[in-house]
Structure 1
């Protein structure tokens, strides 16, 4: 079972990460999917996406849930029927799930140089403490993206912009955590964030 990592964030919050090594068939075989989930996975053109989708259902099982316990709202945000909060991510060969009593968000990203090309689209304030000449520029950009993506998943409000409404307080990679803010509709929200790197990937997650 390639459960890669379990992180106990606090007494109400747990992160589980899966390393996707199995074939599509091996992932599908032990699962009981509801009809809409089966239709969704069969309709995916990429086997990478199919395996990511199925590995998330295996992570649900690690938490004691099934595919039947999961549903999505009109904004595409996942929910659990028992009222616990959940966020989901998958990227290439890794997937992750965070479950908590509070609103949460999680993101896994592959570290790639091309993130520098789109940095201007999601970074504003953060350019005060990171520069393209920094040795760890790509990795810290990936952390910033991951935190902002996690905030977006948590808030799930159409119209929010990474660059305009989300702000990540200065950090170093060795810190493993920082504070982030959402400034939206004349209200400010403060979040604890954490991040970790493994095998060329970055995982970030946020909790209020």
Structure 2
């Protein structure tokens, strides 16, 4: 994969990925950064600083596909990033020196990127229903896809008080290098079906979802 990759998903959506080689100091003076950014004090590790800055640079780069105007990128009360006073929706994810961003006009969006690692076995009971555990067994690729898909759904839903094993459900899917997963989000006051797209690349899983608001 190139260091930076931008892909048009449809007429209203762009996906960007960035395999980081830059330091946070280099990113703070990056030519595609529209305004100086102040790193949140809570972010202290160099890797996280670089990922945070790169995700913002990439988000602004994708926003330019829709408008030349500048919109401030902030977080809402649930910690979800959004462009203030802008119609475009976005979602951000990062894992071990790689960043993924999805920006759309007209769709609600969620995106997640995960490394395929055995540690997913330790947490599978926390995010899978009994039926899902029986279907996926202990295959770490399938488990990582499922974990990533549910992270994508959680970001798209955009609200807290969600239990991954109960409120986010995945239907059985065919394992391949890329594909789709039918899923639904269900709470006491909400029920909606979604299609999550996934892609395997080396030791990484990327998932994302676009949903047209009713």
Match of 2:20 in 1: 20
Aligned counterpart in structure 2 of residue 159 of structure 1, from 158, 161, 164: 161
1:130 Cα deviation from its structure 2 partner: 1.3
| CA distance in 2: counterparts of 1:8 and 1:146, whole angstroms | 21
Q: Deviations over 1:43-100 (max 9, x none)?
A: 5211010010011122123212798531211111111232111101111111011111
Preserved CA contact (<8 Å) 1:57 1:67 = no
Preserved CA contact (<8 Å) 1:165 1:184 = yes
Aligned counterpart in structure 2 of residue 139 of structure 1, from 115, 138, 141: 141
Q: Deviations over 1:130-188 (max 9, x none)?
A: 112xxxx1011111111111111111222111101001111122152111100112432
Q: How many residues align?
A: 200
| CA distance in 2: counterparts of 1:198 and 1:66, whole angstroms | 34
Matches within 5 A, 1:90-101: 90-100=94-104, 101=106
Deviates more, 1:198-207 or 1:62-71: 62-71
| CA distance in 1: counterparts of 2:78 and 2:69, whole angstroms | 22
Match of 1:7 in 2: 7
| CA distance in 1: counterparts of 2:7 and 2:196, whole angstroms | 13
1:128 Cα deviation from its structure 2 partner: 3.7
Change (3 A) 1:148 1:159: same
Structure 2 residue matching 1:113: 3-state secondary structure:
coil
**Gapped regions of structure 2 (runs ≥ 5):** none
Match of 1:50 in 2: 49
Change (3 A) 1:46 1:107: same
TM-score of the superposition, structure 1-length normalised? Answer: 0.88
Preserved CA contact (<8 Å) 1:6 1:16 = yes
Preserved CA contact (<8 Å) 2:73 2:82 = yes
Preserved CA contact (<8 Å) 1:72 1:78 = yes
| CA distance in 1: counterparts of 2:70 and 2:170, whole angstroms | 34
| CA distance in 1: counterparts of 2:42 and 2:48, whole angstroms | 10
**Gapped regions of structure 1 (runs ≥ 5):** none
TM-score of the superposition, structure 2-length normalised? Answer: 0.85
Deviates more, 1:179-188 or 1:86-95: 179-188
Match of 2:93 in 1: 89
Match of 1:203 in 2: 206
Change (3 A) 1:130 1:58: same
| CA distance in 1: counterparts of 2:7 and 2:205, whole angstroms | 14
Change (3 A) 1:80 1:127: same
Preserved CA contact (<8 Å) 1:180 1:190 = yes
Q: Over aligned residues, Cα RMSD in angstroms?
A: 2.0
